[in-house]
Chains A and B, each alone.
Chain A
Amino acid sequence: MLAYIIRRVAQSLLVLLVTGFVAFSMFSFVGDPIDNMLGQERTQADIDRLRGQLGLDQPFVVQYYRFLEQAVQGNFGLSYRQGRPVSDILMERLPATLELAFVSGFLALAGGIGLGIFTAIRKRGVSANAIMTVSLIGVSLPTFLIGIVLIYVFSVEMGLLPSFGRGEVVRIGGWTTGFLTESGLKALILPAITLGLYQMTLIMRLVRTEMLEVLRMDYIRFARARGIRERSVNFRHALKNTLVPVITITGLQLGSIIAFAIITETVFQWPGVGLLFINAIQFVDIPVMAAYLMMISVMFVGINLIVDLLYFAIDPRLRVDRTAAGGH
């Protein structure tokens, strides 16, 4: 198992190196940063001096190495637009995105697993079929449309919930939270639903399919034949066996919740990193874009790693030493 973990960590690092390379390449391909930094009245001497200061006269490999060295320390340089360290800007924006992602991820997971089990157990029931039909909407409607519809219904027509922003936030250390104020919580509802609905329906359909599969297994029949009560058969014997594929998908979905919060954040003008990224693109603020790219890839790789390790926690069959089992 240790060998497996080491191998997976090594693979993760390789992936990060590659995305780092892509992020770094943006600096060279999207124009010369010197042009942006010096005004109209630059001289060749100014350019050369700044180029030397920034280390841009060094060979490509050396520059890439420096970039990585700085990136590992969380330093992505100054934002072209705001003139402040990119890492500071990201850290200010990150709590908003993480809180949104956390709430919608929780909604998606709890709702998805709950409804998935329900529709699997009552597979012939009227309500289960109704849920399955409605879930098609969740799968097929694009996120921005759901957001706009929700805003129209709950903000414009009914006036119940705010249509944009994060409400009042409370600052705790370096973290700003919207969980502690009423307006903060209210502001969270619509974006969280918008962001989580697709994931929820996806998880629900997956759990349902897996659960129906598992409920046909011999060990479920045997558990019934031993007089184990239905609740225990469903939740203890069956649910656990559906979790491995569910965790795989859910892990990937959590990553994409953070990554694709961009659309939801734009629709709701939610002050998170996604909105920051969209604005950065408009202003060709490359350090911000590069830092965002790196941050998202670190999250994806990290989540994947955790998911792989979770398999071991759930399925005892994997805990056997793989090399001893013949190395396959």
Chain B
Amino acid sequence: MSTPVLSLRDLVVEIPTRTGVLRPVNGVSFDIAAGEILGVVGESGAGKSMTGNAVIGLLDRPARIVSGEVRLLDQPIQSLRGEALRRLRGKRMGMIFQDPLTSLNPLLTIGDQLTETIREHLDVGQSEARERAIAALDEVGIPAARQRIGSYPHEFSGGMRQRVVIALALCAEPELVIADEPTTALDVSVQAQIIALLKRLCRDRGVAVMLVTHDMGVIAEAADRIAVMYAGGVVELGPVREVITRPFHPYTGGLMASTPGASKGMRRLRQIPGSMPRLDALPDGCPFHPRCERAEAACRENPGPSLAACDGRAACWFPLTEPKEAVS
């Protein structure tokens, strides 16, 4: 396998507070290959968005990366700061935000915002940048791009704005795109279009996509692989079909059972009892054990095993399905 576009190894993000140090991201590792969409799911506060922000270097102070590695192709970027980091953003990694209503500057035309970004990263003149901007809008499916390039964001609908946001994130042709809840703020009918667009761009351009969402339907539709996060760690990682049909980790199983339409047949949705622990009150042992039906003494006494210990698939002492190797 060729070098992954994005590679995280044991990434730890800490927020020092008056009462102690919080770890919203605690030892996250995964790879994303070119042309692959990795879906990152989990409840609010699981560390999904924080991981994305850490990759692109947009952590709000005082949050910071304290250990681990972020590699973009072969380059470690976790310790880059200031100007060096800025050059990577937009050029080699783009980001798509949740709410297209607020992520475009209301006082600049979309053409201004596009050409500014293009000229920041590519050595082209104003007219060439404008042509590229039109092409970028065309590519994301804005009708009559040439006429609409002078329009302001408020003149577009929500779905169209999200297309503009995607065009902005991709206009300097980055290798990696972090899409942070790109469909959450959109109508359901528009969501499918945006997902289809992301998939097409990913396939056509060979971009690696980190798709952060809490929507299992979006993941099932778009992602090639899935990383399930809980309390700052990845608890399950695998090809999306396998994880959905045969989850290993009880948390993933709970997520699936509580998602309408994720499993076949009409039945009552199940809930996962309780809620995710606050970062300043993580239980000892596996962080999921207080909510887990399968928890035993080992779960309370030992922290969750690493993914690698469990066939690289799930971080659980008593997975729902025994890994193949473990059975023998």
Contacts and interface: CB of A to CB of B under 8 A. Distances in A.
B105 A227 contact: no
Interface stretch (B72-80, B83-91, B203-211, B225-233): B83-91
Interface in A188-239: 217-219, 221-230, 232, 236-237
B107 A225 contact: no
Contact of B104 (A219, A225, A229, A232): A219
B139 interface: no
A315 to B, nearest CB: 6
A204 B189 CA distance: 46
Contacts of B90: 225-228
B151 to A, nearest CB: 9
B105 A219 contact: yes
Contacts of A316: 106-107, 152, 154
Nearest to A315: B107
B71 to A, nearest CB: 19
B94 A225 contact: yes
A241 B56 contact: no
B142 interface: no
Chain A residues touching B, majority SS: helix
Nearest to A319: B152
A315 B88 CA distance: 32
Contacts of B108: 236-237, 240
A314 interface: yes
Interface centre among B103, B104, B121, B154 (most CB of A within 10 A): B103
A7 interface: no
A193 B56 CA distance: 46
Interface in B242-281: none
Interface in A297-327: 314-317, 320
Contact of B58 (A224, A241, A314): A224
Interface centre among A223, A228, A240 (most CB of B within 10 A): A223
Contact of A223 (B105, B106, B121): B105
B106 A225 contact: no
Nearest to A228: B120
Contacts of A218: 97, 99, 102-103
Contact of A241 (B91, B105, B120): B105
Nearest to B61: A124
A236 B58 CA distance: 20
Contacts, number: 80
B107 A226 contact: no
Contact of B117 (A227, A240, A241): A227
Contact of A226 (B106, B152, B169): B169
Nearest to A216: B60
Given A232-B116, A241-B107, A316-B107, A227 B152 contact: no
Contact of A222 (B104, B106, B121, B152): B104
B222 to A, nearest CB: 21
Contact of B107 (A227, A228, A314): A314
A228 B95 CA distance: 13
A314 B105 CA distance: 13
A232 B95 CA distance: 19
Given A232-B116, A241-B107, A222 B87 contact: no
A237 B56 contact: no
Nearest to B116: A228
A219 B106 contact: yes
B102 A219 contact: yes
B231 to A, nearest CB: 25
Nearest to A214: B105
Contact of A317 (B89, B120, B154, B169): B154
B52 to A, nearest CB: 10
Interface in B113-136: 113, 116-117, 120-121
Contacts of B121: 227
A221 B97 contact: yes
B55 to A, nearest CB: 11
Nearest to A124: B61
Contacts of B165: 222
Interface in A233-282: 236-237, 240-241
Interface string B161-185: 0000100110010000000000000
Contacts of B102: 217-219
A241 B97 CA distance: 20
Contacts of B56: 225
Interface of B: 56, 58, 86-91, 94-95, 97, 99, 102-108, 113, 116-117, 120-121, 152, 154, 165, 168-169, 172
11 contacts: A222-B165, A223-B105, A224-B86, A224-B89, A225-B58, A225-B97, A226-B90, A226-B172, A227-B89, A236-B108, A317-B152
**Closest CB pairs A-B (n = 7):** A227-B90, A227-B89, A226-B90, A225-B95, A218-B102, A222-B103, A219-B105
